[in-house]
A and B are shown apart, each in its own frame.
Chain A
């Protein structure tokens, strides 16, 4: 990693949800600020800036990452996924997003982006989770509105739906 000058501003380029993006950042700029205010991807939210609430969770090269604990200059050349990249088309919702809507798994929706990112990755790795596993995963996120149960239900239903379609594909 090259040494960066604290005073200077540096070009940062990466792919965001499959599209190339770039901008200029001071070395101290957080990835959350860079995504939101330089790139304009405001779907990722900031709730604490100290790594506890999970609202800022994004995927960097396949790894779940707190954008508030990452510097923008660290993601040079990476592939980043955010909540804006989850839906299959602008007017459609993913299976997980649709389950959230059916189960009222969001109220204000401020925590939701981070939770969706974590669950999206989790359901890929754990296709048939039980409730305890889902709750355990969610314990890395804070939601003040829902009391969590609707989120758990949405996740379990999405998991069932996703693995059913996968089985169908496998049998086809």
Chain B
């Protein structure tokens, strides 16, 4: 046996990262930092302003004629040049990367332009004319299954893509025998981990070889490679997919770039030149990908002392407008883990997958875990409340016992190892639960709203490629062929001077894989990490990879690092044999340490590592008989435990299972509904820890994501499917002032199934933390129905009861209140007045004159008079970061010359649509002038609506203010307007800076 001294090894040490020097000095090589070939074109995408509409026509002629534009493509072109993306269930439904004939969500691509530069490409988008006939939209997954709900795809009756039921053990018997049933219905919201770097790619096509070459900040899984090549109608070896050296975060999200890879590849083919695309933030929030929202009803059969004998799951998964690969994987990733950390023998499940008029879903940190644990851990809290027990006791009584590992869950997961009770007690003792309980007592004695929440979770990692097939019936699976495993690959090479390089197909997005691999391989050879060079760029044309390659399901530490150890170990075994023949000792007497291979009994009898390592290059004839060279070794590793789903639908969905026990104390402000986290404790058992600094980094990062999901973040849609959170000013991420430092506690139970004993750790808090915080709020307020995100207004409503709606005829108060809050329709109201130095009659005449209107409507060019009371205009408006051209129809009604008129309008453009009514009254001021007063109510939808209420209210006021200011000027002297103060200032502070003065 080889002797690699573990006690002074590099594994387990928090060494500084090799990645950091470049990243800290601005020398990172992210997607958009890499140069492109001369002649590369830039792509911009026109997106649907409607949630659901038929495309009646797309006129690209003007856009195509713009100088600098090389090609304009629509959905019809894409459908001609590609085949549909695969759909994850058996149904007569297609899934195109660009809308074909119909749009189904706001932001869906409708056309693309490639041009000399991005600025020109975006100019051309403005010139594309699309005519739509809107359809009714559906955004709620439960409503989508109703009779008569608008149908998205003919092949999905009742918008249901899949409806499967499962039964494990004897759930009916257990429910019949149970003392109590406790049930909970929850709605898990939509959110996304929004990496700070957006999607980016360059695609190229070689007509001579009919081959595509794509560089993209894609993260895997490389099963998607097959999806892309199929869509592009080429065999896999004609799609070379590469990744850049650095990636600015992903958390699953960059899996979702693949439809854009197809679009850019086709654009490159049509244009005959490389095409580059960098997604902007508005596109990312509106239309990249999101986690699923899910409606779950979960019922437990419970004994009087809180022991759960059976669970009944009813999950309705909302995958958005298309069932895009690998969906419905979010729903099935946790299938083996539906019993969480608990020993529950009987389970029944109904899983439905529905489509709605929202952005399609995909990978996102936690991937199915947040949705499952929010239901399960809220249920455990409800069991305690309904049975009058301590929630901690209910958790304790149900945990999988330490002696029972490996433990097979009812739906089929094989929990590899753990001591759940031990980790829980360590968390309680080291995290200071007793003190927290005392603080709660003290706070409550003072009448404050203080609560404590708990959550226990099993964190699965290293997904079984076969779990997704659980959505198919056993018969369908038999037809499709077995799917299982989790092939990891790693290559270790030695060059002619004996220096060691490592390559893996792990595609890191900031997790420091290069550092950890240098530690693992250094230990195998008795070298230092600094002597090992690691490359994690991916190139499907040259590298060892499999469909399981990529950076997802926390598979790096457990699977990929292990594969690197195996490859290095094989080389070390052969190097030991070479050294043995020269040192005259048996191979198992050779020790690797300090850059030398030496005889264990006589350390002076030694050879330099580099000399032995280079031998295969310089003098292969000297290799001992039958020994393979030591130049390069690729290891493939897949665990035998990851078998395909069986005939009864048992599935071992993941290889490793870490354990998390969280608790927290929070206080709710009775007046504002704001939540203050007093203390958050998270105890983890992720098996063997390879790098403590990185493990804690993963926990802190996951915790921050989870905190955002619990308290702030939701991809909000209006009832008409308009998207309401399209900027970082509306989709709020947690900042340094909102994220407390969690108390992290570790226990280590190595996994018996992975080479290094490590398990995944990066996703667990996304699963446990939202439920834990919700349980604390439930405890503080004594309420059962907790909805995320727990924004102050919602929490205040829980405390004080829903605010009563204002009576319908109530005059809007100052500040143009939003009619129905962030989740309602995007309605704006406002009022104002302007003093104009002209008589009412003169102003009246101006309002009815197209020439005047053209001059005073902000951004208007070309006002056309259809009748005395009907005008049509083209206007260009910039609202926040969204600037676009709109067609406006203006009608005048309720004419009371020269005293009052109602102005009605409808606008429509590529960036959105809107409408509204305003009543204008003209009152003589007694000095020859007129006071022009106005009240209006307006609504907007589409991309413009997605920039959110904060900006829109302000922007509407600015634009309307400009209208009256111009009217006043034109009428021969401005006496000033008085729109609401403050809003303009707020708008400007958000979106602009005062330009620097002077200097030229």
B-contacting residues of A (Cβ < 8 Å)? 1-2, 26, 28-29, 36, 41-53, 55, 60-61, 63, 65-66, 69-71, 74-78, 82-84, 86-87, 90, 93, 97, 100-102, 104, 106-113, 116, 134-136, 138-152
Contact = CB atoms under 8 A, between A and B. Distances in A.
Nearest to A143: B196
17 contacts: A26-B119, A45-B30, A45-B248, A50-B880, A52-B727, A52-B728, A52-B729, A53-B196, A82-B26, A93-B25, A106-B20, A110-B196, A139-B736, A144-B194, A144-B196, A146-B704, A149-B741
Given A50-B727, A107-B249, A147-B742, 19 more contacts: A42-B26, A42-B30, A43-B28, A45-B30, A51-B990, A65-B993, A66-B993, A75-B996, A101-B17, A104-B14, A104-B697, A106-B20, A107-B511, A107-B512, A109-B246, A112-B24, A135-B737, A142-B196, A146-B700
B359 to A, nearest CB: 18
Nearest to B19: A109
B991 A108 contact: no
B25 A97 contact: yes
B196, B880, B993: which has the most chain A beta carbons within 10 Å? B196
Contacts of A148: 700, 704, 735-736, 739
B963 to A, nearest CB: 24
B516 to A, nearest CB: 12
Interface-centre pick from A50, A77, A84, A151 (highest chain B CB count, 10 A)? A50
Contacts of B16: 101-102
A101 B512 CA distance: 12
A77 B728 contact: no
Contacts of A46: 32
Secondary structure class of chain A's binding surface, majority of residues: loop
Nearest to B16: A101
Interface string B705-739: 10000000000000000000001110001011101
A60 B281 CA distance: 24
Nearest to A42: B33
A144 B21 contact: no
B693 A104 contact: yes
B20 A101 contact: yes
Contact of A29 (B119, B700, B735, B993): B119
A69 B995 CA distance: 9
B619 interface: no
Contacts of B26: 41-44, 82-84, 113
B373 to A, nearest CB: 19
Interface in B235-275: 246-249, 251
A55 B195 CA distance: 12
Nearest to A17: B26
Contacts of A75: 996
A50 B17 CA distance: 32
Ranked nearest first, the 4 interchain pairs of A and B with the lowest CB-CB distance are: A43-B26, A108-B510, A110-B248, A109-B23
Interface of B: 14, 16-17, 19-21, 23-28, 30, 32-33, 119, 193-198, 246-249, 251, 280-282, 509-512, 693-694, 696-697, 700-701, 703-705, 727-729, 733, 735-737, 739, 741-742, 880-881, 990-993, 995-996, 998-1000
Contacts of B696: 104
Given A29-B119, A147-B700, A104 B17 contact: yes
Contact of B281 (A49, A101, A136, A144): A49
Contacts of A55: 196
A139 B735 CA distance: 5
Given A53-B196, A142-B728, A48 B281 contact: yes
A138 B281 contact: no
A46 B30 CA distance: 11
Nearest to A149: B741
A71 to B, nearest CB: 8
Nearest to B196: A47
A26 B196 CA distance: 27
A112 B993 CA distance: 22
Contacts of A84: 25-27
Most buried by B among A29, A108, A139: A108
Contacts of B737: 135-136, 138-139
Contacts of B119: 26, 28-29
Nearest to A14: B999
A110 B704 contact: no
Contacts of B28: 42-43, 109-110
Contact of A108 (B33, B248, B282, B990): B248
Contacts of B1000: 1-2, 76-77
A112 B20 CA distance: 10
Contacts of A78: 996, 999
B32 A152 contact: no
Nearest to A138: B736
Contacts of B510: 106-110, 145
A27 B295 CA distance: 50
A50 B20 contact: no
Contact of B249 (A36, A108, A135): A108
B697 A45 contact: no
B248 A69 contact: no
Nearest to A114: B196
B697 A107 contact: yes
A47 B999 contact: no
A106 B23 contact: yes
Given A144-B196, A152-B736, A1 B998 contact: yes
Nearest to A71: B995
Nearest to A103: B693
A43 B21 CA distance: 12
Contact of B193 (A87, A144, A149): A144
Nearest to A155: B736
Contacts of A63: 996
A75 B993 CA distance: 13
A28 B21 CA distance: 34
A143 B249 CA distance: 10
A50 B30 contact: no
Find the residue from A50, A87, A139, A145 having the highest chain B CB count within 10 A. A145
A74 B16 CA distance: 40
A101 B826 CA distance: 45
- Of listed A44, A48, A100, residue having the most chain B CB within 10 A: A48
Contacts of B741: 147, 149
Contact of A49 (B14, B24, B881): B881
Given A97-B24, A136-B737, A146-B701, A45 B197 contact: yes
B25 A48 contact: no
B37 to A, nearest CB: 15
A81 to B, nearest CB: 11
A144 B733 contact: yes
Contacts of A29: 119
Contacts of A139: 735-737
Given A69-B993, A107-B701, A144-B705, A50 B281 contact: yes
Contacts of B881: 49-50
A111 B21 CA distance: 15
Nearest to B708: A144
B32 A42 contact: yes
A150 B247 CA distance: 20
A140 B703 CA distance: 20
Contacts of B511: 107
A149 B741 CA distance: 6
Contacts of B197: 45, 47, 108, 110
B5 to A, nearest CB: 26
Contacts of B996: 60-61, 63, 74-75, 78
Nearest to A148: B736
A139 B21 CA distance: 24
Contacts of A52: 727-729, 990
A44 B227 CA distance: 34
Interface centre among A51, A65, A77, A147 (most CB of B within 10 A): A147
In this complex, the member of B28, B194, B703 whose beta carbon has the largest number of chain A beta carbons within 10 angstroms is: B28
Nearest to A43: B26
Contacts of B20: 100-101, 106, 109
